[in-house]
Structure 1
Amino acid sequence: MTIQVGATVARLSYNCDLLFRVIEIKHDDKGNQLAMLYGEDVRLIADAPFSDLTQLNDREMTRYATQEKEKQEQSFSLFQQDYSLIREKTQYNATNGYENQYEFFQMPGRVLHVDGDPTYLKKCTALYEKIGVPVYGVHCNEREMPEKIGPLLELIRPDILVITGHDAYSKSKGKISDLKAYRHSRHFVQTVIEARKRIPHLDQLVIFAGACQSHFESLIRAGANFASSPSRVNIHALDPVYIVAKISFTPFMDRINVWDVVRNTLTGEKGLGGIETKGVLRTGMPFRRHED
């Protein structure tokens, strides 16, 4: 079987449950070919011998794509329902119970999204734009994030920070409680710490951090409001966007219940969690339309 960098493959030993992109081909000590893999829709990094890989045919790819689209549409629909309720509540408050016909405007929270995967970043940015969340996206290797986050915060001055990319827990490297047993969790943790040195208050900068199987407890202790992965499961590439969108469109006087945030994600509470946090949406008036 000819597998090249960029090919889409699945692992036979896992019953082809996930799709991966081949990002690098190398050899083990015995000369066998290994493929370094990035999850196509989950934020997981892995490696596998060529003998464990299979390339899906067009029919299988179409079926997988259809299932994936249905999951994303369901999550987006749930978010739209939430947003409609928030909008109605804001309109009611801004017009004094609909007694006054004031025109108002809204300023959703601005997001700085730092991602270790350029493909995921592109997918997330497209969804942010579809939802209406202002975002500044930056592709950055996970190892470089701690040193680069400070200047980025000063430049962008976001309300919400997303620190994500790829991660994985390796049982052979230590216990599930050992930070050293994770591929990139320590880099995410250090990035959160660096961000909190500049903006310590949890409600002045809301932080989401982590990827597939990340060390949830360490990320929360470091200062993240929301993180992955409580049960060390894989999370979907777009999960950070749904969490951030909920925060971005919740009024700053309202608290966000963690379950209300997590329930609309594609992964759920096994992969995502956090602490009670205030929203960042601000409403203003009057809104004037100026004609040219």
Structure 2
Amino acid sequence: MKVGDIVVRKSYNRDIIFKITGFSNDSENGRVAILKGVAFRLIADAPLDDLEVINEDNIKNVVIDKNVESLLYRSVREAKERQKRMTRGIPKLQSSSNVYGIPGKVLQIDGDKEYLKICLDVYTELGIPAVGVAIPEASQYKEVRALLEKHKPDILVITGHDAITSKKGSIKDINNYRNSMNFIKSVKEARKWQPDLDSLVIFAGACQSNFEQIIKAGANYASSPGRIMIHALDPVFIVEKIACSRIDMVVPIEEVIEQTITGYKGVGGSETRGKFRWAMPRLI
């Protein structure tokens, strides 16, 4: 086996598809593989004899399977329908061909460059302006303020991979998580730049992240209340709802969460204002 191989774990009934990102030795000096979830933002390790290589050449097809593709199409359709409803509420906008919409701008800082590229492709499909930077989770807090100053986004996404390191440890112990503390530090740095929750909307976290502590740090939305695996595109679907809802409305929290793939156990948060604006005349 080598770095880059796509594998499943036999002891877990081949439930999750992983990519091998490296190798190390366990406490008994046995060889183990370091694994990264392909469709889920999870990191793990496993003995080599527990792994089975599978033939999967296109990671994007694993992340955007038929169920996710259906949700993606629904999100695009609902975003367009939402804009139509907004124009019906304002007759001048409805009758003018000189009006255009401006969704909220997104900055995504991601510990995984492959996931980041997929997310950016989906933002483009949803018509949401977005920039992305791939930075390892442990270094994100060092660069987040400079990136905020440079790009001045409406919405910040801070994510990558995470996991609870020991099933025997307390879920309240922040030291029992691989990257939750890194996400917390990044959120706190972002809030030093913009403390208002409606001026800068933040999503932070990954699989099994310490939801409560990330929210306390200042995030509007975070993962994972149920300490479950979240899908790679869950942050994108939250962003779409906020970026494409009007700035004069508070987006119902249940609508935001119900739009995600993993739902209430995967993500949670608080009421937040939308970031969509109408403008006129059209720019030349």
CA distance in 2, matches of 1:204, 1:29: 47
What does residue 68 of structure 2 align with? 72
SS of residue in 1 equivalent to 2:132: strand
| 1:233 and 2:228 correspond | yes
Gaps of 5+ in 2: none
RMSD: 2.0
Deviation per residue, 1:84-138 (Å, 9 max, x gap): 331112221343485x445311111111100001111111111111111111100
Q: What's the % identity of the aligned pairs?
A: 42
CA distance in 1, matches of 2:86, 2:41: 35
What does residue 165 of structure 1 align with? 160
What does residue 41 of structure 2 align with? 43
Deviation per residue, 1:149-187 (Å, 9 max, x gap): 111111111000000000001235730111110000001
Question: What is the one-letter code of the residue matched to 1:185?
Answer: S
CA distance in 1, matches of 2:265, 2:212: 13
| 1:87 and 2:87 correspond | no
| 1:205 and 2:203 correspond | no
* TM-score, length of structure 1 as denominator length: 0.91
CA distance in 2, matches of 1:87, 1:145: 34
CA distance in 2, matches of 1:282, 1:97: 12
* TM-score, length of structure 2 as denominator length: 0.94
Question: What is the one-letter code of the residue matched to 1:251?
Answer: R
Which of 1, 4, 10 is equivalent to 2:2?
4
CA distance in 1, matches of 2:55, 2:228: 27
Check the 8 A contact 1:250/1:281 in 2, yes or no: yes
Task: Report the alpha carbon displacement of residue 67 of structure 1 after superposing the two structures with TM.
Answer: 9.2
CA distance in 1, matches of 2:150, 2:24: 38
CA distance in 1, matches of 2:114, 2:28: 32
Which of 180, 205, 208 is equivalent to 1:185?
180
After TM superposition, which residue ranges in structure 1, 4 or more long, deviate above 3 angstroms? 64-68
SS of residue in 2 equivalent to 1:6: coil
Higher Rg of the two aligned structures: 1
Check the 8 A contact 1:94/1:102 in 2, yes or no: no
Task: Report the alpha carbon displacement of residue 198 of structure 1 after superposing the two structures with TM.
Answer: 1.1
Question: What is the one-letter code of the residue matched to 2:244?
Answer: F
| 1:244 and 2:244 correspond | no
Gaps of 5+ in 1: none
| 1:263 and 2:261 correspond | no
| 1:103 and 2:103 correspond | no
CA distance in 2, matches of 1:181, 1:30: 21
Task: Report the alpha carbon displacement of residue 233 of structure 1 after superposing the two structures with TM.
Answer: 0.2
Q: What does 1:51-62 correspond to in 2, within 5 Å?
A: 51-57=49-55
Task: Report the alpha carbon displacement of residue 27 of structure 1 after superposing the two structures with TM.
Answer: 2.1
Deviation per residue, 1:225-280 (Å, 9 max, x gap): 01000000000111111111111111100111111112121211110111000001
SS of residue in 2 equivalent to 1:269: helix
Residues 29 and 87 of structure 1: CA distance in aligned 2, closer, same or farther (over 3 Å):
same
| 1:272 and 2:272 correspond | no
Which of 199, 206, 213 is equivalent to 1:218?
213
